[in-house]
Amino acid sequence: MLVLGAGPGGYAAAFMAADLGLAVTLVDEEINPGGVCLFRGCIPSKALLHASKLISDSREAAGIGIDFGKPVIDLKKLREWKDHVVQKLTAGLGQLCARRTIHYIRGHGRFLDSGSMEVKGSEGAEQKISFDHAIVASGSKPVTLPVASASRRVLDSTSALNLEDIPGQLLIVGGGYIGLEMGTVYCELGAEVSVVEMAPNLLPGTDSDLTDVLHARLARHFKSIMLTTRVTKVEEEGGGLRATLQGQDGKISRQHFDKMLVAIGRTPNSKGLGLENTDAELTPDGFLRVDPQRATTDPRIHAIGDVAGEPMLAHKATHEGRVAAISLSGGKAAFEPRAIPSVIFTNPEIAWCGVTETEARKRNIRFTITKFPWAASGRAATINRMDGFTKLILHPDTGRILGVGIVGDGCGELISEGVVAIEMGARASDLELCIHPHPTLSETIMESAQLATGYGTHFFKPQS
């Protein structure tokens, strides 16, 4: 089996297939497996978000009587630590690959037909590989903003993670996952951050009660958040950039920034792979069309991860990778999740899984919600972070859990309970009957479930 692309989808597929006894070749341009997630995405950004959380936590500690003073930031050391985290994890994956005797080839792969691939190494060396089956796990790349020309002052998610310097004034175009996570990093490191989002709210598509809590905090720390606004022109100006911004009412403003980060979405890497030499079909959006086993329309080629459709999340890719590998090894497997968790690692974090309120309304799904405010949580009080809530989206007749949405400090660590509940077909009463440890934030899930029956412990709901 050949796997093209060694990100969290590709390496998980290769590892699983090798463990199931297949002879596996894994092709990627990097020296080790890891893909965008480890080299230029999830991992370095989370390392930097950890650093930014240390800064905000220590600043806020002054409010409870511990004053650390102004942090002294050694950018070089921070960069080196982040790079070390990446190096350690990717080298570890390289070792796991070797232990499984996977044939790892470094280079750019291109299908010659449905059974062979040409791989070009960085020094121009070429080799041809034949295979019985292939899994395409080529990922995605950032969408560029046509009005922002190539300039070292215009960053994308990759160059933003390099942390070359901390610009005085940073404009972020796109109030989505990357814009808000990297905005949080740069803001805590000392930049004045402005966000431009073309939709009427941050993180479009996410339940607005969740984003409102984040928006309220960001509004206190960012210089400005401009919604329903577009960047129509970007020019170099006096050692910086001049951006022309157009708001909802058509009003134009021109503002100066030192740098700009464009984070307006990602597009699947389905071009330049020789897919036209196979029978694999693309959707109009450029994704490979796949079935529940992740087989494309070419029976010898499977596809997983960002190139196989939304949501473009590493954990979805990993799961698909294992499904594809099991299926190609003759086992029975299908990609049919009820709940794919999403986590935005801002401060506070936002996490959800299953059906969202927004989606339920759109699809006319009947639902009821219960919401437990963190202001009523003992644990939230002891960590001085009561800005959050835990929401359950339930079937109105059975109390079955359809979705979970949480906003609050570190809530990304809580959402997996929601995933398990939904996948197991649990009802609110099941969560209510599970004893949760006190005092923890996980109790907010149990207490939200209690509200479904009408008898909460720490939240009084008058009985009618």
Nearest to 370 by CA among 433, 464, 444, 462: 444
Query: Cβ of residue 169: shortest distance to ligand NAD, in angstroms?
Result: 17
Is residue 248 within 8 Å of residue 269, measured between CB atoms? no
Nearest approach in angstroms of CB 275 to ligand NAD is 22
Site residues for ligand NAD, 121-150, by CB under 6 A, read 145
Contact 209, 350 (CB under 8 A): no
Q: Which residues contact 339 (CB under 8 A, 6 or more apart)?
A: 353, 354, 403, 418, 419, 422, 423
Residue with token string 């464009």: 262
Please state the length of the chain.
464
The CA distance from 119 to 270, in Å, is 16
Residue 454 contacts ligand NAD per CB under 6 A:
no
Instruction: Write out the binding residues for ligand NAD, residues 27-86 only, by CB under 6 A.
Output: none
Q: End-to-end CA distance of the chain, in Å? A: 63
133 is catalytic: no
Instruction: Count the site residues for ligand NAD by CB under 6 A.
Output: 26
- Which residue of the set 84, 103, 256, 438 is catalytic? 438
Determine, following the binding rule CB under 6 A, whether residue 175 of this chain makes contact with ligand NAD: yes
Q: Report which secondary-structure segment, H or E, holds 83.
A: helix 75-99
CB 109, min distance to ligand NAD, A: 23
Sheet holding 116-120, edge to edge: 108-113, 116-120, 126-130
- Helical packing angle, 42-61 and 75-99, nearest 10°: 140
Residue span binding ligand NAD (CB under 6 A) among the ranges 78-86, 278-286, 305-313, 426-434: 305-313
Query: From the CB of residue 332, how many other CB atoms can be counted at a distance below 10 Å?
Result: 7
Structure token digits, residue 45 = 């950004």
> Which residue of 28, 197, 298, 417 would you call a contact of ligand NAD, by CB under 6 A?
197
Contact 329, 22 (CB under 8 A): yes
Interaction of residue 447 with ligand NAD, rule CB under 6 A: no
Residue 304, Cα to own-chain centre: how many angstroms? 16
Ranges within 204-233 binding ligand NAD (CB under 6 A): 204, 230-231
Residue 413 CA to residue 145 CA, distance in Å, equals 34
Binding of ligand NAD by 266 (CB under 6 A):
yes
CB of 329 to ligand NAD, least distance (A): 29
Report, in Å, the least distance between residue 176 CB and ligand NAD: 2
- Of 134, 155, 181, 321, the one binding ligand NAD (CB under 6 A) is 181
451 binds ligand NAD (CB under 6 A): no
Smallest distance, ligand NAD to C-beta of residue 352, A = 11
Among 117, 172, 263, 295, contact with ligand NAD (rule: CB under 6 A): 263
Comparing CB distances to ligand NAD, the nearer of 59 and 141 is 141
CB of 173 to ligand NAD, least distance (A): 5
Q: Which residue is nearest to ligand NAD (CB)?
A: 176
Site membership for ligand NAD, residue 445 (CB under 6 A): no
C-beta of 310: minimal distance to ligand NAD in Å? 7
Instruction: Check if the beta carbon of residue 37 is closer than 8 Å to that of residue 8.
Output: yes
What distance in Å separates the CA atoms of residue 326 and residue 322, rounded to the nearest whole number?
6
In the block, residue with structure tokens 């009463």: 429
Does 311 interact with ligand NAD (rule: CB under 6 A)? Answer: yes
Task: Collapse the DSSP code of 105 into the 3-class scheme (helix H, G, I; strand E, B; otherwise coil) and give the result.
Answer: strand
Range in contact with ligand NAD (rule: CB under 6 A) among 14-22, 289-297, 306-314, 358-366: 306-314
Taking the least distance from each CB to ligand NAD, the nearer of 18 and 182 is 182
178 vs 441, beta carbon nearer ligand NAD: 178
Q: How far is the CB of 264 from ligand NAD (least distance, A)?
A: 4
Which CB atom, from 127 or from 283, has the smaller least distance to ligand NAD? 283
Q: Which stretch binds ligand NAD (CB under 6 A): 125-133, 192-200, 321-329, 414-422?
A: 192-200
286 contacts ligand NAD (rule: CB under 6 A): no
CA-nearest of 225, 207, 206, 228 to 217 is 225
Residues of span 332-371 touching ligand NAD by CB under 6 A = 343-345
Stretch that binds ligand NAD, among 108-116, 120-128, 263-271, 396-404 (CB under 6 A): 263-271
Rounded to whole angstroms, the Cα distance separating 345 from 334 reads: 29
Q: Does 177 bind ligand NAD (CB under 6 A)?
A: yes
Longest pairwise C-alpha distance within the chain: 77
- 168, 265, 292, 378: which one contacts ligand NAD (CB under 6 A)? 265
Q: Write the CA distances from 275 to 127, 225, 271, 284, 384, integer angstroms.
A: 18, 41, 8, 15, 53
Give me the sign of the Cα torsion angle 80, 314, 306, 125: positive
Q: In what order do the strands lie in the sheet with 134-136?
A: 103-106, 25-28, 2-4, 134-136, 301-303
Q: Give 317 or 328: the residue with its C-beta nearer to ligand NAD.
A: 317
Please identify every residue annotated as catalytic: 438
Positions touching ligand NAD (CB under 6 A) are 145, 173-179, 181, 196-199, 204, 230-231, 263-266, 311-313, 343-345
